[in-house]
Amino acid sequence: MTGEAGPARGRWGLFLTAGVAAVIIALDQVTKAAIVATIGPDADRNVIWVMPPVLRFLYVRNTGVAFGAFQGAGEILILLAVGVVLLLAVAFWRMIRESPWLSLALGLQFGGAIGNIIDRLRYGYVVDFIDVPNFPTFNVADSAITVGVILLGIYLLRTELATAPQSPIEPPQAGVSGSDEGGSGSARPPSG
């Protein structure tokens, strides 16, 4: 019976990763389509205030990477994004099957990366629209990638801490070389 539970659990990890990615891609593309239709280049207005003056939707063409860095890199960014998605998939293939947290983290990253790749292939740029003061404009895909990277970091840190050899810290013992009653911490021969 345990032999059957392992593969079934592994398949659910893959389904979770793919399901999360699909939800992010759909949410990203639907929100971008709504933004293009509502405040895009051919729309009657150019901004939607959600929570003035803290949050607004503003149509932005991003030819760079997340949060507007490396503007104008175009085709190179498509290849880089596809490469990162493939690298993550290969690197974490077996672990996805073991951990729902890792499945969630990678699903968020895959979905976000693919959502932005779709924009680059369709428009030649990424549609960004979430605008807050003193921060680059971003989108749902960027948010998913960021949250996925944070979850991946937490997962890797927790895994590393859980598998690190535990060495108990022993309190200093009275009368052991290296400690004296004066508290200086240096071992001195008795004077006499």
Stretch 131-149: mean pLDDT, rounded?
94
142 is catalytic: yes
Structure tokens belonging to residue 15: 């389904």
131/188: higher pLDDT: 131
Q: What angle do CA 25, 30, 34 make, to 5 degrees?
A: 150
Question: What is the span of the domain harbouring residue 124?
Answer: 2-163
pLDDT for 82: 76
pLDDT above 80: residue 184: no
Determine, yes or no, domain membership for 115: yes
Please report whether residue 129 resides in a domain.
yes
Count of domains for the chain: 1
- Tally of CB atoms within 10 A around 112: 28
Amino acid of residue 9: R
Which of 3-12, 26-35, 125-134, 176-185 is the least confident region? 176-185
Q: Which residue has the higher pLDDT, 146 or 98?
A: 146
Q: How confident is the model at residue 4 (pLDDT cuts 50, 70, 90)?
A: very low
C-alpha span between 118 and 115 (Å, rounded) = 5
Q: How far is CA 164 from CA 73, 78, 80, 98, in A?
A: 41, 37, 33, 19
- Dihedral sign for Cα 116, 122, 123, 128, please: negative
Of 13, 25, 4, 21, the C-alpha closest to 115 is 25
| Active-site annotation holds for 42 | no
Task: Give the pTM.
Answer: 0.73
Looking at 28, 128, 131, 180, which residue is catalytic? 128
Any domain includes 118? yes
Domain membership flag for residue 143: yes
Does residue 169 lie in a domain region? no
pLDDT tens readout for residues 56-113: 999 999 887 655 555 555 567 677 777 877 887 777 777 777 788 889 999 999 999 8
Residue at 7 is within a domain: yes
Q: How confident is the model at residue 2, as a pLDDT?
A: 39
Residue 51, strand partner residues: 55
Does 157 map to a domain? Answer: yes
- Which pLDDT value is given to residue 185? 53
Provide, rounded to the nearest whole percent, the portion of the chain with pLDDT above 90: 44
Determine the Cα–Cα distance for residues 88 and 145; give it in Å rounded to an integer. 12
Catalytic residue among 28, 119, 131, 142: 142
